[in-house]
């Protein structure tokens, strides 16, 4: 999905247009219609279903005919999945639509209304006004494999967050009943450690067993090939003097088993999501060129956020989409930082680029050399994070060149920018 300069659409909109601001909702949508001079023309509600959509389209067509307007310009916030339902209906009927940033709506509303009052109609009115003044993006729905890839990437991200949350809950539970276990096992994800956690995680339970009985019990829940007996002996020693809680330990043991079960299920789902995401990426024409520089998963996540490259005119639009372009923050003699990146873009795209650059400054000769130059140049040397920000920008420009020129990455080809 592309984001163009917000002032460009001013010359694209016909001289006489109606601007519709829609405040989307779960059950009902609120619409305010204004003309090109900003005067209210109409306001109404319609339901979030097929009958409501048909009634909405019929009504706005009558308004357009009565007002003699050359076009309808529909604007809305990218609210949850609701905007996709509306955008699909509008695209099928050839009606222009735009997306306005929710933050922009809130700030403009607060500036216009000092009492900070808010309701659906005020929001719809503000959205229509932002459409009239061309404060919107050129975001569009993705089609075909690009939309499939975006959905797979969203699932991948959700599963990764869920697994991180379950690991945190597991760590909290284990820390309550046996905090010293981390001296024996640095990673709770190993087969031996998980067998221990399934069978007898609380230190108070381990103390009640002999060493032989403890090893037998852990082995009963073991699913790997090589049990780490030496670490289990160390764990048994630590349990003898553990400060872990004793009250409620049985309930915590049950919770630990539940978290381990959730992690196993989520890991299987993650493997499946990764497999299908890679297959979807391979079906797209840009895949071979992106994968010549990035790994399969990183390439898929980048393309999922960018969408169809044909929607963009330059690499600068990719940089702005990621929110890594420099954003000055000065006032008089006061300056905040060294022109930091804006961070007003897609955080998942920034995250992928960041970790990709971390990997490339270790493995790729061109990025290693460029990173060293940025950090050690005589004039204005950059900090580590600043240098990585420059490399993230550089990486997007290289990816743009690979896709546009249908070529494969060569680290010695320094003219690629």
Please report, in tens digits, the pLDDT of each residue of the chain (417 residues total). 444 443 344 444 445 888 999 999 888 999 999 888 888 888 999 999 999 999 999 999 998 888 888 888 899 988 788 888 999 999 888 888 888 888 788 887 777 766 667 788 888 888 988 888 888 777 777 888 999 999 999 999 999 999 999 999 999 999 999 999 999 998 888 899 999 999 999 999 999 999 999 999 999 988 878 899 999 999 999 999 999 999 999 999 999 999 999 999 999 999 999 999 999 999 999 999 999 999 999 999 999 999 889 888 889 989 988 888 877 666 666 655 565 777 778 889 999 999 999 999 999 888 999 999 999 998 888 889 989 999 999 999 999 999 999 999 987 765 444
Nearest Cα neighbor of 12 from 134, 130, 146 is 134
Looking at residue 4, what is its pLDDT? 42
Looking at residue 249, what is its pLDDT? 93
CB 110 within 8 A of CB 245: no
CATH class of 149-274: mainly alpha
Q: What is the pTM assigned to this prediction? A: 0.81
Looking at residue 414, what is its pLDDT? 54
Looking at residue 58, what is its pLDDT? 92
CATH 3.30.420.40 residue ranges of the chain are 8-141
Looking at residue 116, what is its pLDDT? 67
Looking at residue 417, what is its pLDDT? 42
Looking at residue 300, what is its pLDDT? 95
What CATH number does the domain located at 8-141 have?
3.30.420.40
CATH 1.10.287 residue ranges of the chain are 149-274
Nearest Cα neighbor of 84 from 150, 162, 7 is 150
Looking at residue 340, what is its pLDDT? 72
Question: What is the residue whose two structure tokens read 């539940």?
Answer: 258
Distance of CA 275 to the CA centre of its chain: 19
State how far the alpha carbon of 253 is from the alpha carbons of 90, 106, 202, 256, 265, in Å. Answer: 54, 47, 7, 5, 19
Looking at residue 70, what is its pLDDT? 82
What's the per-residue H, E or C state across the chain?
Answer: CCCCCCCHHHHCCCCCEEEEEEECCCCEEEEEEECCCCCEEEEEEEECCHHHHHHHHHHHHHHHHHHCCCEEEEEECCCCCHHHHHHHHHHHCCCEEEECCHHHHHHHHHHHCCCCCCCHHHHHHHHHHHHHCCCCECCCCCCCHHHHHHHHHHHHHHHHHHHHHHHHHHHHHHHHHCHHHHHCCCCCCCHHHHHHHHHHCCHHHHHCCCHHHHHHHHHHCCCCCCCCHHHHHHHHHHHHCCCCCCCCHHHHHHHHHHHHHHHHHHHHHHHHHHHHHHHHHHCCCCHHHHHCCCCHHHHHHHHHHHCCHHHCCCHHHHHHHHCCCECCCEECCEECCCCCECCCCCHHHHHHHHHHHHHHHHHCHHHHHHHHHHHHCCCCCCCHHHHHHHHHHHHHHHHHHHHHHCCCCCCCCCCCC
Give Rg (Cα) of the chain.
28
């Amino acid at each position: 999905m592309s984001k163009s300069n917000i002032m460009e659409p001013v010359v694209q909109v016909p001289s006489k247009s109606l601007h519709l601001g829609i405040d989307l909702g779960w059950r009902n949508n609120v619409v305010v219609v204004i003309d090109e001079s900003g005067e209210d023309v109409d306001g109404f509600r319609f339901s979030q279903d097929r009958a409501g959509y048909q009634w909405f389209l019929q009504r706005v067509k009558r308004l357009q005919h009565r007002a003699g307007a050359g076009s309808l310009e529909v604007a809305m916030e990218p609210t949850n999945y609701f905007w996709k339902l509306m955008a699909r209906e509008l695209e099928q009927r050839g009606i222009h639509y735009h997306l306005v940033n929710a933050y922009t709506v809130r700030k403009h509303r607060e500036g216009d209304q000092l009492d900070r009052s808010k309701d659906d109609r005020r929001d719809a009115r503000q959205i229509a006004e932002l459409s009239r003044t061309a404060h919107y993006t050129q975001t569009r729905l993705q089609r075909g494999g690009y939309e499939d890839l975006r959905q797979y990437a969203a699932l991948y991200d959700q599963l990764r967050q869920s697994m991180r949350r379950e690991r945190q809950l597991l760590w909290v539970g284990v820390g309550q009943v046996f905090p010293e276990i981390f001296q024996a096992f640095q990673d709770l994800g190993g087969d031996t450690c998980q067998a221990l956690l399934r069978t007898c995680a609380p230190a108070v339970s381990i103390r009640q067993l002999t060493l032989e009985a403890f090893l037998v019990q852990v082995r009963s829940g073991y699913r790997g090939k090589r049990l780490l007996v030496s670490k289990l002996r160390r764990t048994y020693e630590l349990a003898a003097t553990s400060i872990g809680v004793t009250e409620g330990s049985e309930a915590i043991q049950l919770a630990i088993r539940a978290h381990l079960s959730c992690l196993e299920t989520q890991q299987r789902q993650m493997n499946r999501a990764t497999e299908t995401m890679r297959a979807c990426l391979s079906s797209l024409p840009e895949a071979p060129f992106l994968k010549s520089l990035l790994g399969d998963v990183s390439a898929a996540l980048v393309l999922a956020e960018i969408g169809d490259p044909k929607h963009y005119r330059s690499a600068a639009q990719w940089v702005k989409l990621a929110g890594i372009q420099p954003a000055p923050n000065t006032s008089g003699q006061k300056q905040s930082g060294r022109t930091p990146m804006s961070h007003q873009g897609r955080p998942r795209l920034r995250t992928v680029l960041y970790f990709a650059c971390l990997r490339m400054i270790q493995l790729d000769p061109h990025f290693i050399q460029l990173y060293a130059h940025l950090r050690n140049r005589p004039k204005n040397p950059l900090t580590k994070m600043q240098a990585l920000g420059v490399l993230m920008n550089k990486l997007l420009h290289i990816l743009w060149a690979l896709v546009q020129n249908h070529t494969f990455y060569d680290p010695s080809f320094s003219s690629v920018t």
